[in-house]
Amino acid sequence: MKKLLFCFMLFLAAANISYSQKKPCCDDESGTTGSDTKSGEITAPNVMASFGNDEGFKNEHPQPLDFKLTDGKGSMVTYKTADGTDAYGYEVKADKPTDNWVLVFHEWYGLNDYVKREAEEIAAKLGNVNVLAVDLYDGKVATNNDEAVKYVQSVENARALSIIGGARDHAGSSAVFATLGWCFGGSWSNQAAIELGDRCKACVIYYGMPEQSTERLALLKAPVLGIFANKDTKITPEVAAKFEADLKSLNIPASIYEFEANHGFANPSNPKHDAAATEEAKEKTYGFLMEKMK
């Protein structure tokens, strides 16, 4: 009997060691641990990145038109992340001190001057907010479609989450947030809003793949504005409808709008840019953010 008991105790000890080796160790107080977060593994941005293998979707992101931002009031900033490396962003500070922040997430081509101009416009339209356009590509900016696909597919969830966590800490412990992004950045806007929890007051997604897991989506505390394109071949009307239904089932306030336009219609760097649809979408966006960031 004693021998059996001894063997059983050895088994329990071995099991405990095995569990402690597998249990994730948090990077910071939020519980973020690489691609395995406090709320489960995220997959939507990976699905978004996989679309780069589809030539049709890839071709919906033609090479950006030439543009150089010369009169912006913002500047590039560097901040620390939990993984021990620097992250970068384009920051536009409000004229007066404020704890309101909008985190902006770039699309396919990276944090180029078009995205910086959008950050400038958001700051000007909303007034009393700080805007930080985060760089998910760690300083790289694509100049053609092949580079864009390479960069978007090289983003690791663990690194993106560290960049978001660093942006949160850069803003300060009393900061409250809204998130906004287009395409790949729209997907990350959704994920950032989930990660920010109660500190996020609004989430705007432009034709990005939304979170598909209702278990993870249930952790979203912010109301959502979704801007989608009916002619989108990947982020289809069916995807938008499921997202809206999921949010409704979770009692998360949502306003979902679909435009008769192609994917990327609000991207001013896109030769196929739809100015009329963009103007209407921006009107809804700024009204939403003004209301939620009071």
Over the stretch 261-275, which tens digit does the pLDDT of each residue have?
Answer: 999 999 988 888 999
Res 271: pLDDT: 84
* Residue at 234 is within a domain: yes
Half-sphere exposure of 33 (CA within 13 A, CB side): 12
Average pLDDT estimate for 110-134: 97
Please tell me the distance from the alpha carbon of residue 168 to that of residue 27, in angstroms, as a whole number: 14
Please tell me the distance from the alpha carbon of residue 202 to that of residue 180, in angstroms, as a whole number: 9
The pTM of this model reads 0.87
Please tell me the distance from the alpha carbon of residue 286 to that of residue 291, in angstroms, as a whole number: 8
Share of the chain above pLDDT 70, in %: 86
Q: Is residue 79 left, alpha or beta, with left meaning phi > 0 and alpha meaning psi from -120 to 50?
A: beta
Q: 5: pLDDT confidence band, cut at 50, 70 and 90?
A: very low
* Residue at 168 is within a domain: yes
One-letter amino acid of 43: T
- The model's pLDDT over 55-97, given as tens digits with 9 standing for 90+, comes to 999 989 999 999 999 999 999 999 999 999 999 999 999 999 9
* Residue at 9 is within a domain: no
* Burial degree of 218 (CB within 10 A; 0-12, 13-18, 19+): middle
Q: 234-237: which pairs have CB atoms within 8 A and are 24 or more residues apart?
A: 234/51, 234/54, 234/57, 234/209, 234/263, 235/207, 235/208, 235/209, 235/263
Question: Mean pLDDT in the chain?
Answer: 88
Res 276: pLDDT: 97
Residue 57 belongs to domain spanning = 37-292
Residue 170 belongs to domain with CATH number: 3.40.50.1820
Q: 242-248: which pairs have CB atoms within 8 A and are 24 or more residues apart?
A: 242/212, 243/210, 246/214, 246/217, 247/217
Count of domains observed in the chain: 1
* Residue at 80 is within a domain: yes
Do 200 and 179 touch, CB atoms closer than 8 A? Answer: yes
* Residue at 8 is within a domain: no
Please tell me the distance from the alpha carbon of residue 234 to that of residue 184, in angstroms, as a whole number: 12
* Residue at 201 is within a domain: yes
Please tell me the distance from the alpha carbon of residue 165 to that of residue 186, in angstroms, as a whole number: 17
